Amino acid sequence: MQLSNSEEQLMQHLWKLEKGFMKDLLECYPEPKPATTTIATLLKRMADKKFVGYNEIGNSREYYPLVEKSDYFSKHVNGLIKNFFNNSASQFASFFTKETNLTQKELEELQKIIDKEIQKKKK
């Protein structure tokens, strides 16, 4: 299951906070802030999708993510690779390195990450 853009934006705030009440989540938004009812609707949909859980404390709910940020984005990247790059990670990497205007320093950092992963696979 996938989140809408609005839900994903709210989820980003919740991942950053780790847990929070409605007022905490609203404070994360820049002006003009969304309506409380909008956030409540998004949270309900996200809870129905099993992305968000909550603890009832008095009359309030403290929300927390049920899905790790890295797991969510890993699925997205893998879907992107499958759907747009013929399930080829090397095609994706080629596109990413050529089309994103990375600096030499960023490319060198990527190379270090790749070299490190290659060493792990050899063990």
Same domain for 85 and 103, yes or no, is yes
Same domain for 38 and 90, yes or no, is no
Same domain for 12 and 49, yes or no, is yes
ω before 34 within 30° of 0 (cis)? no
Same domain for 10 and 60, yes or no, is yes
Same domain for 59 and 77, yes or no, is no
Q: How many domains does the chain have?
A: 2
pLDDT digits (tens), the chain, 123 positions: 789 999 999 999 999 999 999 999 999 999 999 999 999 999 999 999 999 999 999 999 999 999 999 988 888 888 888 888 888 888 888 888 888 888 899 989 988 988 898 888 887
Q: 75 is in which domain, residue-wise?
A: 69-122
